Amino acid sequence: MGPVARDARVVVGNKLADFGDAVADGTVLFNWSGGRELVREVFLAAPKLAWVHSRFAGLDGILFPELVESAIPLTNGSGVFSPSLAEFSLLAMLYFAKDVPRLRRQQMAGVWGPFDMLPIEGKTVGIVGYGDIGREVALRTKAMGMRVLALKRHAPAAGSDLGPVDEFYETGRLLEMVAGCDYVVVAAPLTAETKHMVGAEVFAAMKREAVLINVGRGPVVDEAALISALRDGSIKGAGLDVFEEEPLPGESPLYGMENVLLSPHCADHHADWLDDAVRFFAAQYGRFVAGEDLLNVVDKKLGY
Amino acid sequence: MGPVARDARVVVGNKLADFGDAVADGTVLFNWSGGRELVREVFLAAPKLAWVHSRFAGLDGILFPELVESAIPLTNGSGVFSPSLAEFSLLAMLYFAKDVPRLRRQQMAGVWGPFDMLPIEGKTVGIVGYGDIGREVALRTKAMGMRVLALKRHAPAAGSDLGPVDEFYETGRLLEMVAGCDYVVVAAPLTAETKHMVGAEVFAAMKREAVLINVGRGPVVDEAALISALRDGSIKGAGLDVFEEEPLPGESPLYGMENVLLSPHCADHHADWLDDAVRFFAAQYGRFVAGEDLLNVVDKKLGY
């Protein structure tokens, strides 16, 4: 944290008492891995706080009423994780298009059995929740020759560069969008509005050959409805990095399903991911000290 | 074959006698799935032949001396298969980067075990044999944020648009190129020069964390040397669609290896691939009848 350490007093702690009298003077609260309660306690005890930064992209674990109501800006780590999550999304598409489970079954049985694979070129991907992750997915899938649809709560502002999206859909047109998709990538933040937004109705509207991919937040998808859809063949498969409860309980049927590619919420973990998160904060801190505009200022009321 | 059938006599056969007197008048030889001997017999018996088209991209199964020496143009199906092979190459990269074997092992055991995955963004891919397949690989890997190197027998002509390649290497610099690669994609045609071009020396030069991918022709890779390299950890893994002998014999150790993703030469098979091959020929035939330049005229002496 070079640029921060040179001119700042840095105090690290796991409970309010750890921060001692630094709380009285602290202007910056950087939440690395604290839960909502700890962040709230420190926040309420720190009268000079001028900025809160959360290492994570998702804010559902940090937002509390006093923070939402305050004028203090909250920024997040959005962007640091997006390329990795887009790569996992691509893997999940190709995993099902080329039928990796069948390839492995045949390989391990010593069987030479050519079969028709599916191209992803020319297929349609729909991105539910088009933020930074969605944009990285769009860039990569467009380069694979896919048609890219995206669901966005607000219509894009005129002149905004939102990446290679063929058509935007507003939230009310979710069922219409997924009906035309071969792959649906969920990358929405978790808010009161998005909880279980992808449920039985969505799976019923999707093609039977379509694949659901969730790299956003587990509870955005109704997991019981997803398991039913995977069992009865309403959809072909799922690539999942996030779950309603994490760690996913050992008795979850998702573990044993051949038509699921399951990642234990580590699709955004790579050797440098923690360094990247610190580097991003350090650069933000430089902006804060210089009085420049911060990046990734979130809308605390919307929750992203 | 609409555009062909309307104004042409089409005769199909599996042996010379099947073609009857059509051989005497035939101007076009379209090889769909014939072996070298049948193609040679028909070729030698057809005095008016003005064009030979092979459905396949690789020509190692069709070239015979009289065809090589003749002035009759030979065209191939190059291009029809390239996007699918590039998709398989991407799958193989992501398969190893995200450690799909470990994901599946954990999933089937009901174990939640997060681990660090590798990004492919920022990594380097080297393409051995930069033709149509190579170009499709380059387009996709560049969009994933990778550095793209390519080995080409001949330096690219000035002003030629060869796709998003960061650096070209001539054949003599193969070892130098692979030493800097995280992924090596073999997409070279099989000729006397390329046979076993990727062997023990190449594997020794590659990084231990690197992955070899072959979507070109099996014998371009020295398979015994590859198996040794995979066993002793000289390289991390291999994604293979082609083999020295096909079908790959049941006793090949490649079947049982966890660090191999094995496809039985079907990475370019998809529901429409045969239609695509016919459509390409039909369009070529249209050019032939109109006296226009044919596409994909190969250099018979070079073999591609």
Picking from A84, A104, A110, the nearest residue to B119 by CB comes out as A84
SS3 B140: helix
What token pair was written down for B254? 């490649």
Per the structure, the complete domain to which residue B168 belongs is given by: 82-262
Q: What is the pLDDT of residue B2?
A: 45
**A150 and A255 co-located in one domain:** yes
> What confidence tier does A1 reach under pLDDT thresholds 50, 70, 90?
very low
**B143 and B171 co-located in one domain:** yes
Q: What is the pLDDT of residues B224-256, one digit of tens each?
A: 999 999 999 999 999 999 999 999 999 999 999
Lowest mean pLDDT among A287-291, B1-5, B49-53, B227-231: B1-5
Picking from B110, B250, B269, the nearest residue to A117 by CB comes out as B269
Question: Rounded to a whole number, what is the distance in Å from the CA of A215 to chain B's nearest CA?
Answer: 14
The number of folded domains in chain A is: 2
- Number of Cβ pairs < 8 A linking chain A and chain B: 149
Question: Do residue A103 and residue B247 have CB atoms under 8 angstroms apart?
Answer: no
Mean pLDDT of A256-277: 91
Question: Do residue B115 and residue A266 have CB atoms under 8 angstroms apart?
Answer: yes
DSSP state of B219: G
**A250 and A119 co-located in one domain:** yes
Name the region of A129 (left: φ>0; alpha: ψ -120 to 50; beta: rest).
left
CA distance linking residue A58 with residue A81, whole number of Å = 11
**A284 and A162 co-located in one domain:** no
In a domain, A147, yes or no: yes
CA distance linking residue A197 with residue A199, whole number of Å = 6
Residues in B touching A97 (Cβ below 8 Å): 87
In a domain, A296, yes or no: no
- Is residue B132 within 8 Å of B191, Cβ to Cβ? no
Residues in A touching B247 (Cβ below 8 Å): 112
CA distance linking residue B96 with residue A95, whole number of Å = 12
- Is residue A66 within 8 Å of B66, Cβ to Cβ? no
Instruction: Give chain B's mean pLDDT.
Output: 93
Residues of A identified as active-site: 217, 246, 265
Residues in A touching B273 (Cβ below 8 Å): 116
CA distance linking residue B257 with residue B253, whole number of Å = 7
**A226 and A112 co-located in one domain:** yes
Picking from A88, A108, A140, the nearest residue to B144 by CB comes out as A140
> What confidence tier does A224 reach under pLDDT thresholds 50, 70, 90?
very high
CA distance linking residue A134 with residue B36, whole number of Å = 50
Question: Rounded to a whole number, what is the distance in Å from the CA of A25 to chain B's nearest CA?
Answer: 37
Residues in chain A: 304
pLDDT at position B3 over 60: no
Residues of B identified as active-site: 217, 246, 265
Task: Give the N- to C-terminal CA distance of chain A in Å, as an integer.
Answer: 26
Question: Do residue A94 and residue B91 have CB atoms under 8 angstroms apart?
Answer: yes
Question: Do residue A116 and residue B271 have CB atoms under 8 angstroms apart?
Answer: yes
**B15 and B109 co-located in one domain:** no
Picking from A94, A260, A263, the nearest residue to B90 by CB comes out as A94
Q: What are the distances in angstroms from CA A41 to CA A19, A48, A64, A304?
A: 11, 14, 11, 22
Q: What is the pLDDT of residues B92-120, one digit of tens each?
A: 999 999 999 999 999 999 999 999 999 99
**B209 and B151 co-located in one domain:** yes
Q: Which residues contact A16 (CB under 8 A, 6 or more apart)?
A: A23, A38, A41, A42, A45
**A108 and A50 co-located in one domain:** no
* Ordered alpha helix ranges (H), B170-236: 174-179, 200-205, 223-232
Q: What is the pLDDT of residue A79?
A: 80
Q: What are the distances in angstroms from CA A65 to CA A44, A220, A303, B124, B237?
A: 11, 21, 11, 47, 51
> What confidence tier does A2 reach under pLDDT thresholds 50, 70, 90?
very low
Domain CATH for A223 = 3.40.50.720
Question: Do residue B262 and residue A98 have CB atoms under 8 angstroms apart?
Answer: no
Question: Do residue A250 and residue B107 have CB atoms under 8 angstroms apart?
Answer: no
Q: What is the pLDDT of residues A164-200, one digit of tens each?
A: 999 999 999 999 999 999 999 999 999 999 999 999 9
**B71 and B94 co-located in one domain:** no
Residues in B touching A107 (Cβ below 8 Å): 255-256, 260-262
Question: Rounded to a whole number, what is the distance in Å from the CA of B247 to chain A's nearest CA?
Answer: 6
In a domain, A304, yes or no: no
Q: What are the distances in angstroms from CA A224 to CA A126, A215, A254, A280, B81?
A: 22, 17, 10, 37, 40
Residues in B touching A80 (Cβ below 8 Å): none
**B53 and B115 co-located in one domain:** no
